[in-house]
Structure 1
Amino acid sequence: MRVLFVAAPGVGHLLPAVPTAWAAQSAGHEVRVAATGPSLDMATRLGLAAVEVSDGTAAHAYRRLAERGMAARPEAHDLSTAWQRFTRPPEPDGGQDGDGSDKAGVDGDGGGADRDGGGNGKDGVVSEMLDVGRRMTDGILRAIRDWAPDLLVFTSFIGGGQSAADQAGVPAVHIGIGMPYPDLSALLPDPPAPPVLTADVCPPSLRPPGAEPGAPLRFVPCNGGGVVPDRLLARPRRPRICVTWGSVLPELGMDETLATTLAALAGFDAEVVLATGSSAASTGRPLPHGVRQVGWVPLTAVLPDCAAVVHHGGSGSTFTALALGIPQVVLPQAADQPVNAQAVLRRGVGTALEKTRPGVAELRGAVERALGDAEIRRACAEVREEIAAMPGPDAFVRRLAAAVS
């Protein structure tokens, strides 16, 4: 079987599918990754054969989307309604200009804001997300024509892969990257055929009310490669707290929220590890005493020995912590991050703050609770066991092979 995996330019869209790609290769199937930008680079670093499917405009559009979302983030998110707001259909008045770019721009929370509560850009955000996929579609179609895959596997939020599969008559399978997000391709002028299968990595106890389950697939943390510093190999003598800001936000600048987070953590009797790819110089100030920066290190190499992780609410960070049973402190900024923060709060596996720029005292209180609450630790253990019991990538690959036989 030949399987073509398609992911958005951001590595957070590729990494959740990598364990399944590895499993397919290990089972003797042929695998290619159709990607561009950071995802293309990450795929090759992880030992996967990849093909370029864009001239750079898709990666540029993806970065522009992230920049607008961060620039327009509100002062606070309502975490009690984040899921409902994110999944509410966009308003129909968002337009596009001649080259397919969005006129409305991004407002609100940059990923799910509708027109109440400080946001007027969900329609624009959806349009720009779909535009990223459109800019990859021709390249994906070329890969399908030249390589003739039996199956195309795509991850959330990129309609380009699904549209190309539909145009080429190739069965498509959707792999979720976290929460069971809606199918944005249904909003295209000519919606493609639905996938023959949707892999659902969300454990049942985190599933929002009314969200339909897909085929269960265990979330296997994959955070890329990296050199693990010697000091992280030994078990810490004091509680270790990891701070990570994902793969996109550090490239947009380590803003005041991250600087405040590090200042708040400096007051703890703990070992604070800053796991980001950005340098300390980008904050414009030295790191607080007791904070060690380790660069891009796989979270799977850091979190098992951590007492808590503080992060922005990206799907990769959230679900890696869930799979490893680590209490979380979530500081959502934009995109789907408020949805993940809401899930963390609702399931009781950590704390989350609604303000996008919280103060030092608020941050310290959230971290203290995550470190000391026995109910949070118990919930983390329950979810870890729940994820571990879900069918793994090997079983899912067998299901894929049966679907195309």
Structure 2
Amino acid sequence: MAGGTSGVIFGVVPLAQAARNAGHEVFMAAPENVMPTITRAGVPGVAVSSKVMHDALVDRRGVRVPIPEDLHERYLFNGRTFGRYAASCLDGLLELADRWRPDVVVGGALAFAAPLVAAYAGVPYVKQAIDMGEPRTIDLGAAAELGPELERLGLYDMPRADLFVDICPPSLRPADAPPAQMMRYVPYATQKRVEPWTLARGDRPRVLVSAGSRVTPESDFDILSGLVEKVGRLDVELLVAAPETVAEKLRPLAPHVRAGWIPLHLAAPTCDLVVHHAGGNTTMGYVSYGVPQVLVPYLPYCVDYSRRLSEYGAARMVDPADDSAGTIARVCAEMLATPSYRERARELADEVAGLPGAAEAVTAIERLAASGR
């Protein structure tokens, strides 16, 4: 089970592909609007809801919920939003479980319907991390929102995972992180034809700017365009990773700027620095390729792991309240001139490369399914 945006789908595709490659029958359940993203990955998709993620910003009374200013309340708000989204998928998921009996349910960390479906089907539940970890308060908010669904299924609490698959580099795992089957993070994104300039860098430093795969001309475009304008003042070759509709809105661009859908695995090895919104997949992708990062966590849940990565010395976190052009340019210039950021980023990449692959995680899931626990 994934979720309603491309980012969370990208996070679970490698494990789903590995399970299919091992000969297992795999379906990925998600809402109708993201079926093309799933099927393009070579994974059979099952639509379980006609809702989209933005629909969950409206509560069960039909009232749009205001976004809280307080950080703790914001985490609860996020959890309740994901909980409402899970509730909207539940009927479709239960029908699927009745029609096609699973032996195990694997859910991304924010797919809160996954443990409910596993309990309903009486099979093990595997939770897979999709980044370096979200605040646990989000889980509490989701559990509170899903009270009616828990009662409907005869449950008194959110079922716990029988196996946790974690992708966070061990050096960055929180001290209280639960035991886990570790898995090497494999960046995934929808592919397209490779343009020659993607692979060939010039004489100037190459810097990439991104606001993630969810940005659209109507949503978060100001974040991306703002970062492009700020970084574009530097004497660098600038790549802007964005969906084509977004890239078109950014044009015309200066000669030293290229924008479009740039697959991460192609761009990362040629980049000296990446500046982005601190989204989970983007952050983990550049960790795995050993590229120093400037993180501007516009979403509060990204702050914790952004801080951990910064304290390690492989990144710098910039407070969104202080993301002026001067600040961004200064931080980028300092990082490009300081070799230790690249050295620490490469240390992390080596650590990620040494983790067990997805095939080993599949073996652990096979053992769990065979045990029936």
Q: Same fold judged by TM-score > 0.5?
A: yes
Counterpart code for 1:336: Y
Q: For residues 97 and 260 of structure 1, do their structure 2 counterparts lie closer, same or farther at Cα, with a shift above 3 Å needed?
A: closer
Contact 2:272 2:292 in 1 (8 A): yes
Aligned pair partner of 1:98 in 61, 83, 95: 61
2:126 aligned with 1:160, yes or no?
Answer: no
Aligned pair partner of 1:258 in 200, 209, 224: 224
Aligned pair partner of 1:59 in 41, 53, 64: 53
TM-score (norm 1): 0.82
2:82 aligned with 1:129, yes or no?
Answer: yes
State the number of aligned residues: 356
Could you say which residue in structure 2 is the equivalent of 1:142? 95
CA distance in structure 2 between the aligned counterparts of 1:356 and 1:10, rounded to whole angstroms: 26
Identical pairs, percent: 28
Counterpart code for 1:59: M
Counterpart code for 1:130: G
Q: CA RMSD in A?
A: 2.2
Counterpart code for 1:27: A
Aligned pair partner of 1:215 in 175, 181, 185: 181
CA distance in structure 2 between the aligned counterparts of 1:333 and 1:228, rounded to whole angstroms: 30
CA distance in structure 1 between the aligned counterparts of 2:221 and 2:206, rounded to whole angstroms: 23
CA distance in structure 1 between the aligned counterparts of 2:320 and 2:53, rounded to whole angstroms: 29
TM-superposed deviation, 1:312: 0.4
Counterpart code for 2:13: V
Contact 1:329 1:350 in 2 (8 A): yes
For residues 30-109 of structure 1, the aligned pairs below 5 Å read 30-55=25-50, 57-61=51-55, 64=57, 97-98=60-61, 104-108=65-69
Contact 1:10 1:37 in 2 (8 A): no
CA distance in structure 1 between the aligned counterparts of 2:24 and 2:249, rounded to whole angstroms: 43
Contact 1:11 1:38 in 2 (8 A): no
Secondary structure of 2:202 counterpart: coil
Q: For residues 105 and 253 of structure 1, do their structure 2 counterparts lie closer, same or farther at Cα, with a shift above 3 Å needed?
A: closer
TM-superposed deviation, 1:325: 0.3
2:208 aligned with 1:245, yes or no?
Answer: no
Could you say which residue in structure 2 is the equivalent of 1:20? 15
Aligned pair partner of 2:351 in 346, 369, 386: 386
TM-superposed deviation, 1:305: 0.7
CA distance in structure 2 between the aligned counterparts of 1:154 and 1:250, rounded to whole angstroms: 26
Contact 2:215 2:246 in 1 (8 A): no
CA distance in structure 1 between the aligned counterparts of 2:17 and 2:74, rounded to whole angstroms: 38
Contact 1:227 1:297 in 2 (8 A): no
Counterpart code for 1:9: G
CA deviations on 1:20-39 (whole Å, 9 max, x unpaired) are 11111111111111011554
Counterpart code for 1:151: V
More displaced stretch, 221-230 vs 392-401: 221-230
CA deviations on 1:306-328 (whole Å, 9 max, x unpaired) are 11111100000000000000010
Could you say which residue in structure 2 is the equivalent of 1:287? 253
Counterpart code for 2:359: D
CA deviations on 1:229-261 (whole Å, 9 max, x unpaired) are 221132433321111110223354454443332
CA deviations on 1:185-214 (whole Å, 9 max, x unpaired) are 554423232121010111111122333342
Q: Which runs of 5+ in 1 are unaligned?
A: 1-5, 66-95, 115-119
CA distance in structure 2 between the aligned counterparts of 1:352 and 1:335, rounded to whole angstroms: 13
Contact 1:46 1:225 in 2 (8 A): no
Q: For residues 213 and 105 of structure 1, do their structure 2 counterparts lie closer, same or farther at Cα, with a shift above 3 Å needed?
A: farther
TM-score (norm 2): 0.88
Counterpart code for 1:367: C
Counterpart code for 1:7: A
Contact 1:13 1:155 in 2 (8 A): yes
Secondary structure of 1:248 counterpart: coil
2:290 aligned with 1:325, yes or no?
Answer: yes
Contact 2:296 2:319 in 1 (8 A): yes
CA distance in structure 2 between the aligned counterparts of 1:366 and 1:326, rounded to whole angstroms: 15
CA distance in structure 1 between the aligned counterparts of 2:84 and 2:108, rounded to whole angstroms: 15
Could you say which residue in structure 1 is the equivalent of 2:338? 373
CA distance in structure 1 between the aligned counterparts of 2:199 and 2:30, rounded to whole angstroms: 33
Could you say which residue in structure 2 is the equivalent of 1:304? 269
Structure with more helix by fraction: 2
Contact 1:275 1:297 in 2 (8 A): yes
2:308 aligned with 1:347, yes or no?
Answer: no
TM-superposed deviation, 1:364: 0.5
CA distance in structure 2 between the aligned counterparts of 1:37 and 1:333, rounded to whole angstroms: 28
Q: For residues 146 and 335 of structure 1, do their structure 2 counterparts lie closer, same or farther at Cα, with a shift above 3 Å needed?
A: farther
